[in-house]
């Protein structure tokens, strides 16, 4: 059964690749998942994924952005799951592509920061975030888990740039933290996660997320109301039981006929209707209706009288 995160990525990989923004999305893939290797005295740029749709996406981005002809190699993992691995390997113009994407600089070497031409362009920022999420992102199922979306980065400065990218254009309130082997930029607010999905182009996933979020929030609201009602009913039942206990004690010790008429009426009415709330008693008592404060005052008089007959209340 596919996870919600895999459904999001499946939708993103099916989006049309626009030539003018392909480089920004590709830059995220290569910066986050690209590996340089030497084969037969020739440098290759490799990206490995277990997701065939992502492998096809990278293949398409390279062809559209640079008219490259990468290799797509499928192999079988030798671990327990034995999933297929998909290797996209580029052997032509590797150096030129890395320089053009500002991943490699002759003076500083490998550049882990997001280039300024992406940081200063809203449209390129959207494409870069799409590539970053496909390369190292995950999102919890809003129907069953806490709200959480994150993108993993190996480098702290790149991670900080991702959070800046999410916040400066899209106001997503992204936060950063360190993980055992790297760093993450993450979102915790349901509304912001929905906004992120919209930003990167996962519109169907965003609509599904919003539907699930609304249903979950409604369910939580109903549960809170039910819990509140249950607590109120329990409180009402406890108060009524104490009032009946007071009245029964007075009846044993002196008899209800000895009470003032209004207190006697209330005492007999409460014993006959222990299920009623204070307001319902105030509305339905034989000499009523009277105010809640008025009926509460009478019950307080009955309690004070009952306390006189309790052993721990006597001198």
Does the pLDDT at position 39 exceed 80? no
Weakest mean pLDDT among 35-44, 146-155, 184-193 = 35-44
Q: Summarize pLDDT for 231-285 with one digit per residue, the tens.
A: 777 887 888 888 888 888 888 888 888 888 888 888 888 888 888 888 888 888 8
> Quick check: is 235 in a domain?
yes
Number of domains in the chain: 2
From the list 59, 69, 53, 63, the residue with the least C-alpha distance to 5 is 53
pLDDT for 314 equals 47
> Quick check: is 218 in a domain?
no
Enclosing domain of residue 28: 4-201
Does the pLDDT at position 79 exceed 70? no
Does the pLDDT at position 1 exceed 60? no
**pTM of whole model > 0.75?**
no
pLDDT for 64 equals 92
Q: Summarize pLDDT for 169-213 with one digit per residue, the tens.
A: 999 999 999 988 899 999 999 889 999 999 999 999 888 888 877
Those residues whose C-beta lies under 8 Å from the C-beta of residue 259, and which sit 6 or more positions away, are 250, 267, 305
Same domain, 241 and 167: no
pLDDT for 315 equals 44
From the list 12, 10, 53, the residue with the least C-alpha distance to 201 is 12
> Quick check: is 121 in a domain?
yes
């Amino acid at each position: 059964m596919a996870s919600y995160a895999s459904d999001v990525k499946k939708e993103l990989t099916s989006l049309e690749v626009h030539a003018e923004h392909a480089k920004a999305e590709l830059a995220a893939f290569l910066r986050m998942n690209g590996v340089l290797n030497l084969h037969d005295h020739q440098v290759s740029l490799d990206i490995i994924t277990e997701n065939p749709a992502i492998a096809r996406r990278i293949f398409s981005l390279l062809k559209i952005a640079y008219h490259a002809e990468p290799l797509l190699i499928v192999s079988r993992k030798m671990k327990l799951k034995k999933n297929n691995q998909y290797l996209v390997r580029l052997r032509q113009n590797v150096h030129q592509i890395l320089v053009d994407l500002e991943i490699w600089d002759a003076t500083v070497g490998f550049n882990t920061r997001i280039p300024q031409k992406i940081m200063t362009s809203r449209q390129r920022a959207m494409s870069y975030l799409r590539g970053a999420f496909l390369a190292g992102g995950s999102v919890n199922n809003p129907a069953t888990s806490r709200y959480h979306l994150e993108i993993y980065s190996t480098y702290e400065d790149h991670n900080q740039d991702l959070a800046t990218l999410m916040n400066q254009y899209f106001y997503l309130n992204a936060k950063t933290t360190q993980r055992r082997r790297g760093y993450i930029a993450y979102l915790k607010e349901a509304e912001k996660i929905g906004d992120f999905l919209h930003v990167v182009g996962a519109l169907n996933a965003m609509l599904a997320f919003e539907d699930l979020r609304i249903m979950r929030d409604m369910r939580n609201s109903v549960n809170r109301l039910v819990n509140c009602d249950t607590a109120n009913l329990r409180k009402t039942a406890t108060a009524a039981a104490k009032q009946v206990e007071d009245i029964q004690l007075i009846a044993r010790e002196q008899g209800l006929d000895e009470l003032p008429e209004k207190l006697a009426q209330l005492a007999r009415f409460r014993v006959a209707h222990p299920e009623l709330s204070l307001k319902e008693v105030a509305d339905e008592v034989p000499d009523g209706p009277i105010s809640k404060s008025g009926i509460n005052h009478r019950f307080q008089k009955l309690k004070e009288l009952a306390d006189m007959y309790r052993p721990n209340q006597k001198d």
